[in-house]
Structure 1
Amino acid sequence: MIFREAQNDDIQQIQVVRNAVKENMLSDPALVTDKDCSDYITQRGKGWVCEIDGEIVGFSIADLVDNNIWALFVHPDFEAKGIGKILHDTMLDWYFAQQKEMVWLSTSPGTRAEKFYALQGWKVTGVYGKGETRFEMTATEWEHKK
């Protein structure tokens, strides 16, 4: 497994992973464009990927503009191998090294992702959008979690 920063050349494989997930699926894959991905990994924040044998199997993206975790996904064939945890921790270490603002994310209720974020120390703060669970994490909470 290789973990590294995401680059524009990775976007095609990032989209494959994003559209392969079984939970938190996009209602319309066209809603997240390649340009959106590029903006988030080069202008708004930064992204990371996990590669196995030259194939991207997971990715995460943090957004400094809206203080948001824009994405954290692992291909279903590679779940439960610790990839999501490494991507998560790398992303939050970087995020809080850039700024100390609270970061938030949302995910569908009743999913493995919801359980994962709770186990990582994220605090439920309400409902977001169309019924998603909203989580928040502060720099202090993250430091204590590590």
Structure 2
Amino acid sequence: MILREATTADIPQLQIIRHSVKENILSDPALVTDELCALYLTERGKGWVCEVDGQVVGFSIIDLQEHNVWALFMLPEFEGQGIGKQLHRIMLDWYFRQTKEPIWLGTDPGTRAEAFYRRQGWRQTGIHGGSEIKFEMRYEDWQVKPKR
């Protein structure tokens, strides 16, 4: 298993992963274009991938402009192996080296993602987009959290 910074060359595989998820499915997949992914990877923030046997199986992307987690997704067959937790740690460590601003994310209620973020110490702060749970992580909370 290799964790590394994502590049624009990874975008086709990121799209495959994003469209393969069983939860937090895009309402309109056409809205997440390759160009938009490139913008988040190169100008708005940064991303990371996990490779297993040369295949990208998971990825995460941070948006520094809006201070949010833009993406954290795995191929379904690679869930539950600790890869998401490692991508999560890498992206938040990097984010909080760039800024002390709180970071937020939205996810569907009743999903594995909701349970995952709660276990990682995110605090529910409200509703986002009408139906998603909005979570927040503060610098202080991340710094004192044991790196599980």
TM-score with structure 1 length normalisation? 0.99
Q: Residues 1-146 of structure 1 correspond to what in structure 2 (within 5 A)?
A: 1-146=1-146
Partners of 1:106 and 1:28 in 2: CA distance: 17
Q: Secondary structure at the match of 1:26?
A: coil
Given residue 118 of structure 1, which amino acid in structure 2 is its aligned partner? R
Partners of 1:112 and 1:31 in 2: CA distance: 24
Given residue 98 of structure 1, which amino acid in structure 2 is its aligned partner? Q
Partners of 1:86 and 1:130 in 2: CA distance: 30
Deviation at 1:19, TM superposition (A): 0.4
Deviation at 1:54, TM superposition (A): 1.3
Deviation at 1:27, TM superposition (A): 1.6
Q: Which runs of 5+ in 2 are unaligned?
A: none
Partners of 1:27 and 1:77 in 2: CA distance: 22
Partners of 1:51 and 1:31 in 2: CA distance: 26
Q: Which runs of 5+ in 1 are unaligned?
A: none
**Percent sequence identity over aligned pairs:** 61
Given residue 8 of structure 2, which amino acid in structure 1 is its aligned partner? N
Q: CA RMSD in A?
A: 0.6
* Runs of 4+ deviating beyond 2 Å: none
Per-residue CA deviations over 1:56-103 (Å, capped at 9, x if unaligned) read 100000010000000000110101110000000000000000000000
Partners of 2:83 and 2:130 in 1: CA distance: 28
